[in-house]
Amino acid sequence: MTGSAAFGGGDAYRPRRDVRFRRIGEEAVVVRQEAPEVLVLNPVGARVLELLAGGEPLDAVGAKLAAEFEVAPAAAAADARAFAAELESAGVIEPAPEAETGR
Protein backbone atom coordinates (compact mmCIF):
# COMPACT_ATOMS: atom_id res chain seq x y z
CA MET A 1 0.00 0.00 0.00
CA THR A 2 1.56 3.27 -1.03
CA GLY A 3 0.24 6.75 -1.62
CA SER A 4 -1.81 8.90 0.68
CA ALA A 5 -5.10 7.81 -0.89
CA ALA A 6 -4.60 4.35 0.54
CA PHE A 7 -4.16 5.61 4.10
CA GLY A 8 -7.17 5.56 6.38
CA GLY A 9 -7.29 7.63 9.55
CA GLY A 10 -7.48 4.62 11.83
CA ASP A 11 -4.45 2.92 10.31
CA ALA A 12 -1.43 2.29 12.47
CA TYR A 13 2.11 1.94 11.28
CA ARG A 14 5.41 1.03 12.80
CA PRO A 15 9.04 1.51 11.82
CA ARG A 16 10.35 -1.34 9.72
CA ARG A 17 12.58 -3.79 11.50
CA ASP A 18 15.81 -2.42 10.05
CA VAL A 19 15.02 1.22 10.81
CA ARG A 20 16.76 3.10 13.61
CA PHE A 21 16.01 6.72 14.39
CA ARG A 22 16.68 9.36 16.99
CA ARG A 23 15.96 13.01 17.54
CA ILE A 24 19.11 15.02 17.11
CA GLY A 25 18.28 18.57 18.01
CA GLU A 26 15.04 19.46 16.25
CA GLU A 27 15.45 16.96 13.43
CA ALA A 28 15.26 13.19 13.35
CA VAL A 29 17.99 11.12 11.79
CA VAL A 30 16.63 7.90 10.31
CA VAL A 31 18.85 5.04 9.24
CA ARG A 32 17.64 2.20 7.08
CA GLN A 33 20.20 -0.45 7.92
CA GLU A 34 19.57 -2.67 4.97
CA ALA A 35 19.63 0.03 2.28
CA PRO A 36 21.86 1.46 3.82
CA GLU A 37 20.47 4.96 3.76
CA VAL A 38 20.23 7.94 6.07
CA LEU A 39 17.27 10.32 6.01
CA VAL A 40 16.89 13.55 7.91
CA LEU A 41 13.36 14.54 8.90
CA ASN A 42 12.33 18.08 9.81
CA PRO A 43 10.67 18.70 13.19
CA VAL A 44 7.15 17.92 11.92
CA GLY A 45 8.31 14.78 10.16
CA ALA A 46 10.25 13.78 13.23
CA ARG A 47 7.13 14.12 15.35
CA VAL A 48 5.03 12.08 12.91
CA LEU A 49 7.52 9.22 13.00
CA GLU A 50 7.83 9.45 16.76
CA LEU A 51 4.06 9.22 17.20
CA LEU A 52 3.66 6.36 14.74
CA ALA A 53 6.50 4.48 16.45
CA GLY A 54 4.72 5.03 19.74
CA GLY A 55 1.69 3.17 18.37
CA GLU A 56 -0.54 6.14 17.62
CA PRO A 57 -2.93 5.57 14.69
CA LEU A 58 -2.86 8.09 11.89
CA ASP A 59 -5.96 9.98 13.00
CA ALA A 60 -4.46 10.53 16.43
CA VAL A 61 -1.20 11.65 14.82
CA GLY A 62 -3.10 14.26 12.84
CA ALA A 63 -4.90 15.49 15.94
CA LYS A 64 -1.67 15.81 17.90
CA LEU A 65 0.06 17.64 15.08
CA ALA A 66 -2.84 20.08 14.92
CA ALA A 67 -2.54 20.80 18.62
CA GLU A 68 1.26 20.93 18.83
CA PHE A 69 1.92 22.93 15.68
CA GLU A 70 -1.24 25.05 15.84
CA VAL A 71 -2.60 24.19 12.40
CA ALA A 72 -6.12 23.35 11.24
CA PRO A 73 -7.06 19.74 12.10
CA ALA A 74 -8.02 18.89 8.54
CA ALA A 75 -4.73 20.19 7.19
CA ALA A 76 -2.76 18.37 9.89
CA ALA A 77 -4.57 15.11 9.17
CA ALA A 78 -3.90 15.44 5.45
CA ASP A 79 -0.24 16.24 6.10
CA ALA A 80 0.09 13.27 8.43
CA ARG A 81 -1.44 10.94 5.83
CA ALA A 82 0.75 12.29 3.05
CA PHE A 83 3.89 12.07 5.12
CA ALA A 84 3.09 8.56 6.31
CA ALA A 85 2.70 7.56 2.67
CA GLU A 86 6.07 9.09 1.93
CA LEU A 87 7.67 7.24 4.84
CA GLU A 88 6.16 3.98 3.70
CA SER A 89 7.34 4.35 0.14
CA ALA A 90 10.78 5.26 1.47
CA GLY A 91 10.86 1.97 3.35
CA VAL A 92 10.80 3.57 6.79
CA ILE A 93 7.41 2.35 8.09
CA GLU A 94 5.02 -0.48 7.42
CA PRO A 95 1.46 -1.26 8.52
CA ALA A 96 1.39 -2.49 12.09
CA PRO A 97 -0.22 -5.87 12.69
CA GLU A 98 -3.59 -5.53 14.40
CA ALA A 99 -2.32 -7.36 17.46
CA GLU A 100 0.14 -4.52 18.07
CA THR A 101 -2.43 -1.79 17.80
CA GLY A 102 -5.34 -3.35 19.63
CA ARG A 103 -7.64 -2.87 16.65
Partner 1 sequence: MSLGAVIAGAWRDNVLVSALVELTYRCNLDCFYCYNDLGLPGEPLSRAQWERLFEDLAAMQVLQLTLTGGEPLAHPDFFALGRRARELGFLIRIKSNGHAVDEARARRLRDEVDPFLVEVSLHGAGPESHDRQTLVPGSFERLLGNLGAMARVGLRVKLNATLTAWNEGEIEAMFALADRLGLRLGFGATVTPRDDGDATPLSIAPSRAAVARLYRVLGERTPDPPATATSPEGCTPPPAAEKNCGAGSSGIAVDPHGNVYPCVQWRRPLGNLHQASIREIWASSPVLAGVRGLTVEAKRRRDGLGETGRWMAFCPGLSEQRTGDPLGVEPGALARAEVLRQVRTGAAPAAGTEAVVRRAPPPGAELGAAVVPPAGAAARRRTLLPVIA
Contact with partner 1 (CB under 8 A): which of 9, 27, 64, 94?
27
Contact indicator for 65, 79 with CB cutoff of 8 Å: yes
Q: Give the residue with the Cβ less far from partner 1, 37 or 73.
A: 37
For position 86 contacting partner 1 by CB under 8 A, the verdict is no
Number of chain residues interacting with partner 1 (CB under 8 A): 16
Name the minimum Å distance from CB 94 to partner 1: 16
Which DSSP string corresponds to 21-85? EEEETTEEEEEETTTTEEEEE-HHHHHHHHHHHTT--HHHHHHHHHHHHT--HHHHHHHHHHHHH
Query: Can you tell me the distance from the alpha carbon of 37 to that of 1, in angstroms, rounded to the nearest whole number?
Result: 21
Name the minimum Å distance from CB 17 to partner 1: 8
Per-residue x/- mask for partner 1, residues 34 to 73, rule CB under 8 A? --x-x-x-x-------------------------------
Report the interface residues with partner 1, using CB under 8 A. Answer: 17-18, 20-25, 27, 29, 31, 33, 36, 38, 40, 42
